[in-house]
Structure 1
Amino acid sequence: MNISRQLQRLALNEDINFLLTNRVPRAALTRFMGWFSRIRHPWVRDASMAVWRAFTDLDLSDARTTSFASLHDCFVRELKPGARPLDARADVLVSPCDAIVGACGRIGDDPGAQVFQAKGFPYPLTDLLGRSTRATETINALRGGSYVTLRLTSSMYHRFHAPTGLTLHHVTYHSGDTWNVNPIALKRIERLFCKNERAALHLSLEDGTPLLLVPVAAILVASMRLRAVDVALNAQYRGPHELPCHARYDKGSEMGRFEHGSTILVFAPPGFALCDGVENGHRIRMGEALLQRL
C-alpha cells in the first residue's frame, strides 16, 4: 500500500480524525491557514498541494486552469465552461454546489422547525437563524417543507450557484466557532451548524416563493465571499451582521464561494420534495436536480 493510501486510511479513523480536526486551537489554526494558503511561492505551493493530494482525491481535470500561484487559488478555482450542465426544467431546483448529500428530509412543524444534522442529532431552525423578525417570518414559511445538507469536501469545487432564478434580499452573518463539519463531528457535537460561523441567505423565487440557503464555515474554512456583499465574511469581519441587498440571479449563476470546503444547508417551503436519488451519501454536482416543485 502506498503512503497516500496509508495517510487516507489514517484520516478515516474516527477518533484520530476528530482529535486532529477538532481538539486543536481551531480559530488560530484557521487564521494561520488563511494566511499560509495565500503565499505565492512555488516551493510552498507545490509542497502544500502535494500534502493535499496525499489526503484527498483532488481532480483538476474540469478546472479552467491547472496552473495556480498559491494553494488558495486552487481552492477557489473556476471551472471550464460547460463543465456543469444545468437541469433546465422550470420546476426543478438544482444543487447549488458539488457535494455529498448529508441529512435531508422534512422540516418539522414544531415551533422550532426541527431538522437533523445527523441521525439522532436534531437542531431547531430557531437556533440556526436566531429570533429576529426576519428569521421568524422565514421559519414560519418553511415549516413542513424540505431540507438538504450539502457537504463540500476539501478537494471539491468550492463555488456555489443559484439553484433557480431568484433574488437575494438579505444576508444575516452569524459569527461563531470553526468545528469541523464532517460526518464524524456531526455525530458528536450537538447543534454543530448552530455554533459555527454561517451566513443566512434570504431568497425568493421569481413567483415570490421563499427559499433559504445557509453556507456554514468550518475549521480552515471560516471565510465566505458573496458576490452581492463585497467583504469577506469571517472571524475578522467587524461590520454589521444584518446586510440588506438586492441581487438577481439566473439559474446556475455564481453567488459566492468558500475559501475551502464546507457545507450549504438548503431549505424550501411546503410544495417542494427531494428529487429521486437525493439521499444521505449521494454525490451530486452543481446543476443536477435537487428539489422539485410538486
Structure 2
Amino acid sequence: MTTLPARGWFQRLVAQEDLNFLLTNRVPRIALTRLMGRFARIESPLLTKLSIAVWRLFTPLDLGEARHTDFRSLKDCFTRELKPGSRVFDERPDVVCTPSDGIVGACGLVQRGQVYQAKGFPYSTAELFGPTQDASVFEGGRFITLRLTSAMYHRFHAPAAGTVEHVTYLSGDTWNVNPIALQRVERLFCRNERAVVRMRLAGGEPIALVPVAAILVASIRLHFLDVLLHLGRKGANEMPCAAPHAKGQEMGWFEHGSTIIVFVPSGFELAEGIATGVQLRAGQALLKRA
C-alpha cells in the first residue's frame, strides 16, 4: 500500500472540480474516445515520445517497472508489461487478491440489490450486470471498487484460482470515472461500457469482476476469449466459456485506465487495511474468507 505522490501546479489546476468535470465530461465523449483509440495505435517512436511527455504533464507516470520502454505507440505504453516479479500474488488459499493496481473507492455490503459509487449515489446491481445476468447471488456479499488512474499498470489478473464461466459485454457511454464524476453523475457505472466477467472459485463460490471503461479508454482486451471489447459491439454480447485460471494469471487489460468492481458472495470480509482511498498493487490481499 502506497501514498499518492505530491502533484505539481498544473495537476492541481486540472484537479479543480468544476474545471475537471467540464474538461472530461462536457465534451463529445464517445467521439473523443474513438479518436484517441486511433491515435494511440499510430506506430511512431517520435510521436510516442512526445505524447508521453505531454501525458506526464497531467499525471506522475513512472515507467521504472516497465519490461521495456522502447514503445512503438502510445497504446504500447498504456498496456505495458512489467518486469518479472514486479507483482507478487498472495498465495494463501483463503485470500482473494487485488486483480489490478488501483485506488479503493466505495466498498461495503450488497444490500437489497444496491451498492454505492460514492456517498449518496446508489446504483442497482441488476442494472450494472445487465438483463441477462443474475446478480442476486451476491446479495449480502461484498463489493469493492478499484479505480485505475491513467499512470498505473493497466493489466488485470485472476484474483484467485478458478474458472471463468461467462462474459457479458454491455456497450455504453464513456463518462470519466474519477471521484468528481462519481459524485455528480447518478448510476455512472451502469451507463458506461463494461464487461461482466463471471468466475467460479476453486472452492465453488461465485465471483464477478466488472471492468468499466471510461472516456478515452473504451477498449477491454480479454485474453481467454482472444477478443477486444469496444464501442462497436452494441447491445448485450453473451460469451459463455470455460477458462481455468491460476491465481495471478493475466486476464486482460484496459487500453488506458479505468475501474474494476469486484463482487463476492456472503462469507467473505475485507482484508486487513482495505479502506476507501488506499492505493493497492495487483496481488495484495483484498478479501478473505470469514
Question: What TM-score range do you get, normalising by the shorter chain?
Answer: over 0.9
Is it true that 1:292 corresponds to 2:288 in the alignment? yes
The 1-side partners of 2:239 and 2:91 are apart by 31
Query: What one-letter code is carried by the residue in structure 2 that aligns with 1:129?
Result: F
Deviations 1:117-146 (A, max 9, x none): 0000000101101233xx22xx22110001
SS in 2 for 1:228: helix
- Give the whole-Å Cα distance in 2 for the aligned partners of 1:102 and 1:271: 21
Opposite residue 60 of structure 1, the aligned amino acid is L
Which amino acid in 2 is paired with 1:159? Answer: R
Does 2:10 correspond to 1:7?
Answer: yes
Letter in 1 for 2:181: A
1:74 matched to 2:70: no
1:234 corresponds to 2:230: yes
Q: Using the alignment, how far apart are the partners of 2:73 and 2:228 within structure 1? A: 18
Match among 55, 67, 78 for residue 52 of structure 1: 55
The 1-side partners of 2:236 and 2:79 are apart by 25
Runs of 4+ residues deviating >4 angstroms? none
Q: What amino acid maps onto 1:277 in structure 2? A: G
- 2:67–2:82 contact (8 Å) kept in structure 1: yes
Unmatched 5+ stretches in structure 2: 1-6
Alignment correspondent of 1:189: 185
Task: Choose the corresponding residue for 1:175, options 171, 182, 192.
Answer: 171
TM-fit CA distance, 1:189: 0.2
Aligned counterparts of 1:155 and 1:218: Cα–Cα separation in 2? 15
Residue in 1 aligned with 2:160? 164
Q: Deviations over 1:146-170 (max 9, x none)?
A: 1100000000000000001010000
Normalising by structure 1, what TM-score?
0.94
Residues 163-182 of structure 1: CA deviation (Å, up to 9, x unaligned): 01010000000110000000
Give the aligned residue type for 2:175: W
1:269 aligns with 2:272: no
Report what 2:129 is aligned to.
129
The CA distance in 2 between the partners of 1:102 and 1:131, in whole Å, is 25
Aligned length: 284
Contact 2:170/2:237, CA 8 A, preserved across alignment:
yes
Q: Deviations over 1:164-209 (max 9, x none)?
A: 1010000000110000000000000000000000000011001211
Q: What is the CA-CA distance between 1:42 and the residue it aligns to?
A: 2.4
Residue of structure 1 in register with 2:4 after alignment: none
Counterparts of 1:244 and 1:9, CA distance in 2? 45
Native 8 Å contact 2:96 2:286 kept in 1: yes
Letter in 2 for 1:262: S
Using the aligned pairs only, state the percent identity.
59
Secondary structure of 2:288's aligned partner: strand
AA in 1 matched with 2:158 = A
Question: Is 2:174–2:213's contact at 8 Å kept on the other side of the alignment?
Answer: yes
CA RMSD of aligned residues (A): 1.2
Distance 1:193 1:39 in 2: 30
Question: Does the Cα contact within 8 Å between 2:155 and 2:254 map onto a contact in 1?
Answer: yes
1:38 matched to 2:45? The reply is no
Structure 2 distance, partners of 1:243, 1:258, is: 19
Does residue 25 of structure 1 match 2:21?
Answer: no
> Which amino acid is 1:25 matched to?
P
Q: TM-score, structure 2 length as denominator?
A: 0.96
Q: Does 1:260 align with 2:263?
A: no
Who is 2:3 aligned against? none
- Secondary structure at the counterpart of residue 247 of structure 1: strand
Task: Give the letter for the 1:261 counterpart.
Answer: G
